[in-house]
Amino acid sequence: MINKTFNTIRIGTRASPLALWQAKQILNKIKLGEIVKIKTTGDKILNKPLSKVGGKGLFTKELDEALLNKHIDIAVHSLKDVPTIISKKIALTYILPRGSHSDILISNSIHKNIHAFPRSTKIGTSSPRRLAQIKKIRPDIEVIPIRGNIHTRLKKIKEAKVDGVILALSAIERLNIKIKYLILKNSDFLPSAGQGIICVAYLKENNSIKKFLEPFKNINVSFQAATERAVLEKLKGDCNSAIAVNSSIKDNKIFINSAVYSQYNNSCIQESINGSIKESLNLGKKLGNQLIKLGALKILGYD
């Protein structure tokens, strides 16, 4: 556990370039600490889809264990990598502004939109959501499972193993990668819950850390994270789920959009809701229930 004089805070992170960038931003924000690199199972197993080897939790499992064993004081994650249900001993907080939530398509040939790509184009992604979204609008496109860090995925294009890859715009911007890309419209590619959000995990019992982080808290991002994850929880979302959720805040109101896709046909349910940001959590739950009434669980294969 961190000592009470706050000589240092041990910041746990994965060792990928993007994860290290995120951890350094947290360090720059709190002005105190040292970065501890931890290799996760998700970084070790790259030849299989996450859904086949244990899900998104493979990127957080070892960091959670390090927290619970008090080998680190906080852990830094991309929120979209954090499972919907986490240990009751761990809390999440948000101290950085949200990055872009958009998805982008990077390829050797830039077209005006995804509809303009030739038939039988091969696009790499390991995301069930992105796969379902592609198949909904371009069933002729071949989707190739692809994993690894950002540079590993971009290398697949150079090696001609795929014609393009879909990535989060925030990742490209954060790593300052200079490359041409096509921003995919939200109407076709609504992003995953938490995309662009960096979160900090800590032990609930660690009141010293909680009090230390509280003044840095980004209120709007906290509301967005809570509402988007509430939708996921209602829908029993996991790494196998083709679920999209995104929110925005304006004039103390939060606007939430969500879509649920079938991975087997073109079925899709979309719904939205808005209200006071103070009701973010309840609005997320309400939106999840609305989607369930429209048949979301059946589309997801839970019924």
Q: Where are the domains of the chain?
A: 1-96+197-217, 103-183, 219-303
- The 10s digit of each residue's pLDDT in 81-122 is 899 999 999 999 999 999 999 999 999 887 888 999 999 899
CATH topology of domain 219-303: Double Stranded RNA Binding Domain (3.30.160)
The mean pLDDT value for 184-203 works out to 96
- One of 64, 81, 103, 163 is an active-site residue; which one? 81
Which helix H or strand E contains 158, and what residues bound it? Answer: helix 150-158
Q: How far apart are CA 259 and CA 185, in angstroms?
A: 14
Q: What percent of the chain has a predicted confidence (pLDDT) above 90?
A: 82
81 is known as an active-site residue: yes
3-state DSSP call for residue 240?
coil
Best CA proximity match to 78, nearest among 170, 177, 185: 170
Amino acid at 71: H
The pLDDT of residue 117 is: 92
User: Tokens for 244?
Assistant: 């999209």
CB 285 within 8 A of CB 227: no
CATH topology of domain 103-183: D-Maltodextrin-Binding Protein; domain 2 (3.40.190)
Best CA proximity match to 296, nearest among 251, 250, 241, 256: 241
Q: How far apart are CA 286 and CA 258, in angstroms?
A: 12
The pLDDT of residue 40 is: 74
- The 10s digit of each residue's pLDDT in 215-258 is 999 999 999 999 999 999 999 998 789 999 999 999 999 999 99
CB 114 within 8 A of CB 188: yes
* Phi, psi of 238, deg, nearest 5: -145, -165
Confidence of residue 264 (pLDDT cuts 50, 70, 90): confident
Domains 1-96+197-217 and 219-303 agree in fold: no
Torsion of CA 211, 213, 214, 219, to 10 degrees: -160
Strand stretches in the chain, DSSP E: 10-13, 34-37, 74-78, 90-93, 103-107, 122-124, 142-144, 164-168, 182-183, 198-203, 243-250, 253-261, 268-276
The domain 1-96+197-217 is classified under which CATH number: 1.20.1280.290, 3.40.50.970, 3.30.450.260, 3.40.190.10? Answer: 3.40.190.10
For the whole model, what pTM was predicted?
Answer: 0.91
CB 184 within 8 A of CB 68: no
- The 10s digit of each residue's pLDDT in 157-174 is 999 999 999 999 999 999
